Structure 1
């Protein structure tokens, strides 16, 4: 079947990748079509599209994962092509095949290539035939516990359980010893089934202190395939990438060529077309092993674009329309260095639990040379519990790695998010860490430096509270007496006749509360203007972000933004109630497993309830030996953060 002329492109995704794809499509003169769920009706990707189609539903399975609805949306909007983005159906061969059967252009590899790499087990066999180095492991069809137990024994602990059809850290568990295998396998299978609709697993040797280095490959429909250098994605948390950079620090030209040529062999072995990524583990001795191939555009593709000057989405569109690759391998550029960080709505201080809520404040870094922000939200948007919590990405380029690192730190200092907890402070500490500056990278970086990256909370200093009080008072709306607009008694200056001006107020930030008594002095001057507080202390001037949104002040301090509110200790009264023995939901989500019943005796650490949020499982465990007094939830329930789940009796 001949391909239709491409004038209109539908993006079967949401968030920052949908916005990013549409940006290139519009630059190429294409009409863009967004699809959205019920909760995403006014999301940024919907607002930015030329045409939007409502898929209905809230959960992904009722919207972004519904193949029939997506095909119908393309036909209704007049789109001739579909870009799958990443996640969702981007590596689903059934979706790619349905798109082609509907007479549409699929901006991705052939369904056969997705199938070949969609099963990690089958992919390992193909790679072995293609001469690509493999990590020792079991990739067979048998999926019972005894088979995995025997395979792990032969491989040797620690081992890594991985979803055969998965990626992104979902359905992946490290198992240190045989006693952990059964529970880890069951949990990984549930996560895999929830995220990919496929519970099959494989098990591999867990390589100690590896680097995660991946090769960007690109192939056209004319038999040409090349690699666009590499990326180092070693900075990970629970197998989820946090920081990515290109090129990989310290990689020799010969090793880059060896890995690149192996990646091209992998792509050619399955008749690949389009953008793909071949991921390798690189050990300390310079030996590399094939991990998997992602048959789609990667989250971290902007760092490759930064060092090559290429637009990979534009390449995807042109290749899908039958054009040949515009470069040969020898012509692929490599200029400077680029680093990317992912910004998530999550709480690093609370085991990185996903955060939901309204983005009361959202200010992106200012544009400039070597600065790029790929985001999918705007101020006022809601972060829902139904989808991945990534808000966007910050990418910095520099002539050297150090220039890129410093530029990215400056961008993080400018970025402001209020209303939900984020990982901005966490990724800033990673970039500022001496080991990262020295490029001492491996996948154990975060656990090894956890004390510095996730420090114990410290009380906010007295100068913070003084600044907060000044910013609070100066940002208050003017208070005027209607009978005397010039009355000094209506001002908020703390005027006292014959005495220094003094103001008293009670402020709180998080769990901390403070009573502040301000007395102005000539030595320290404070001025709030243009949403910043300037402090002049004996001639030394500092400037802090001080954004006011209604009854909340967002104050920047030491690289973090703190939400500050006023409280009345007399009128407030006691509103908090702690229920003894009650376990609550740590976040919004759905109950996927209830593992106990009333009257059951449990030991400390026993898993009572399993909660799923944003495609990841979180176990609620007994804090001590107890008896289950009551169950306040059941499987399938949607619960909010703080909802009572289980009551225990000593």
Structure 2
């Protein structure tokens, strides 16, 4: 019996594993980098061990330090979570060689599936259908052989761009995974990403635990997942189950894993096998009523699945998961940093997170804040429940993708299950273009005015309206209000009530409530985030036309080959790349002209707003 587990991970998945271990009566140990010293996963475990440094290569990717931490802390097993070392066969062997229990598949199974190119060859021998590239297969997808999460992936629609995209993909894959091998496969327009959850024991039993659809993706990373995958025929579902079981048996798989397919119509092709727990595993747990982490632990202890149940559990209802990211979808999905002041969701949905109120969101790791999961008897009910929960959630801090998620879940193409992996390519502008609540700046101003009114805001003599300025979604709003005998009045709207944290306005005979929270210059009014502006703009806050400013804090990883001051550049030409929160972000020329200044140097860390370069357009 396992008595103590070290979780070789961080953030949301580490907290989630700790939660199950506590329910099973198992002691927990976590590891933390210096950047994560006060992170939630370091606080909730029974013990935690420091990994000196901040970069993943120095910390969460150091197999030797993690095994030593487990031994020093008295753990007898290691759970790798997902990402980092979870699919590293050398790490699995090191855990076993140290006499510890590895809560995962055998190293040989991980190794067989670790490279997508080797995995495809192996599955071809098992007669699983594969995509094959021909000269006429444009567009194609360039993919990293050793990793996932959208890194090292490029869609190429023009043959002339293939060589440059191969070079870029190799560089990103090498940086992210330490392996620059890439391969090319056909890119299927309108394809769906469908996967099968499997669970296998060491006694020869393999359970297929339903399908999941993960087609809503940005930058080849999943955003919304659901179980079961909607719209599949029973014949196709049975075929996917059979192929997933065959793939597991081909490598003598043990534990939880996922076999991924590209589905087009009634045809499915093998993509890859993830030899670990998936980020989206909660939707399967909700539908089948199981705890996959608990089952992983029992399988690692040698338990036979048939000893738990004679048959695989049966699916009940529908579950949908949305990944909440600290990012700005309207501006190239730029990751955001800062303090997460508050994160709460209504009762009735599941929240998996690695953050607590007041925690900082840094630059070193993935920008995912949480996963919100809704389960209901039908897909339509689960959709409605999840969209409403996200809409009513309190998310105070940096910009997030919350509004995008709500609009995605209510989009006709998604509600009718006609989505595919190109959903955001088609609909992103419409999904990010909605205006914020027009009464939010007024509510913010009235709440601020209430605080001052306690010190004598009303005067017997008539006075000019007070003015406050706010920035909302890049636009400036000026609000006028007055203190009168009747209380606060504002812009023809009846103020029913105004306190420092609650404003009630009557608009066209309907009373509306606005909850107001302040954190320095940042004001949250219901779902709208505002920034209080000084009454008079700072005349020194100015950059020359054509200035390229860092859209996020990060590290300059590359500058375009041969680029130097004085070079002629074209509008949209890639100039440099920033790495932030595990993703590379391309910075392009804002106009055709001359590069008059280049301040970006590979390896240099920059803050948001830092001047990277200047491109001067012809007069």
For the 8 Å contact 1:610–1:620, the answer to whether it is kept is yes
For the structure 1 residues 552 and 608, does the alpha-carbon distance in structure 2 shift closer, same or farther, using more than 3 Å as the test? Answer: closer
Structure 1 residue 628: deviation in Å? 3.1
The residue matched to 1:449 in structure 2 has which SS? helix
Partner of residue 218 from structure 1, selected from 199, 205, 220: 199
Residues 600 and 465 of structure 1: CA distance in aligned 2, closer, same or farther (over 3 Å): closer
Shift of 1:459: 7.6
**Distance in 2, Cα, partners of 1:392 & 1:210:** 27
Q: CA separation in 2, counterparts of 1:291 and 1:376?
A: 30
Post-superposition, which runs of at least 4 consecutive aligned residues in structure 1 deviate over 4 A?
326-330, 457-460, 519-523
Alpha carbons of structure 1 residues 575 and 416: separation in structure 2 relative to 1, 3 Å:
farther
Judged with a 3 Å threshold, the aligned counterparts in structure 2 of structure 1 residues 567 and 584 are, in CA distance, closer, same or farther, namely closer
Counterpart CA distance in 1 for 2:499 and 2:22 is: 38
Superposition pairs for residues 322-401 of structure 1, below 5 Å? 322-326=302-306, 330-359=311-340, 361-368=341-348, 371-401=349-379
Are 1:613 and 2:580 counterparts? yes
- Unaligned runs of at least 5 residues, structure 2: 483-487
Change (3 A) 1:491 1:550: farther
Show the counterpart of 1:142.
Answer: none
Alpha-carbon separation, structure 2, partners of 1:353 and 1:329: 48
What displacement does 1:328 show? 6.2
Structure 2 partner of 1:565: 532
Would you say the 8 A contact 1:231–1:247 is kept in 2? yes
**Contact kept? 1:227, 1:329, Cα under 8 Å:** no
* Paired residue total: 606
- Residue 12 (structure 2) pairs with residue 29 (structure 1): no
Alignment of 1:381-530 (within 5 A): 381-455=359-433, 458=435, 461=438, 463-474=439-450, 476=451, 479=454, 490-492=455-457, 494-496=458-460, 503-510=465-472, 511-519=474-482, 520=488, 524-528=494-498
- Cα distance in 1 for partners of 2:516, 2:138 equals 51
Separation in structure 1 between the aligned mates of residue 538 and residue 334 of structure 2, nearest angstrom: 30
**Matched residues in 2 for 1:202 and 1:312: separation?**
32
- How big is the shift at 1:563? 2.4
- Structure 1 573/581 Cα, relative in aligned 2: closer, same or farther at 3 Å? closer
Look up the match of 2:37.
41
Shift, 1:226, TM fit: 1.2
Instruction: Please report how far the alpha carbon of residue 207 of structure 1 lies from its aligned counterpart in structure 2 after TM superposition.
Output: 1.3
> For the structure 1 residues 113 and 478, does the alpha-carbon distance in structure 2 shift closer, same or farther, using more than 3 Å as the test?
farther
Alpha-carbon separation, structure 1, partners of 2:477 and 2:545: 28
Matched, 1:193 2:158: no
Change (3 A) 1:227 1:495: farther
1:169, CA displacement in angstroms?
A: 1.1
Residue 73 (structure 1) aligned with residue 38 (structure 2):
no
Q: Is the 8 A contact 2:10 2:32 kept in 1?
A: yes
Quote how far apart the aligned CAs of 1:507 are: 2.3
Whether the 8 Å CA contact 1:226–1:328 is kept in 2: the answer is no
Residue 49 to residue 449, structure 1, CA distance change in 2 (3 Å) = same
2:157 aligned partner: 176
Q: Tell me the TM-score normalised to structure 1 length.
A: 0.89
| Structure 1 segments unaligned to the other structure (5+ residues) | 138-152, 480-489
- The answer on whether the counterparts of 1:426 and 1:454 sit within 8 Å (CA) in structure 2 is yes
Match of 1:593 in 2: 558
Alpha-carbon distance in structure 1 between the residues aligned to 2:269 and 2:408 = 26
Give the corresponding residue for 2:138: 157
Contact 2:3 2:75 in 1 (8 A): yes
Q: Is the 8 Å Cα contact of residues 228 and 304 (structure 1) preserved in structure 2?
A: yes
Structure 2 residue corresponding to 1:280, chosen from 242, 261, 283:
261
2:25, 2:72 → 1: CA distance?
20
Give me the TM-score of the superposition, normalised by structure 2.
0.93
User: Aligned to 2:269, what secondary structure does the other structure show?
Assistant: strand
TM-aligned CA deviation for residue 608 of structure 1: 2.0
Q: Distance in 2 between matches of 1:129 and 1:328?
A: 32
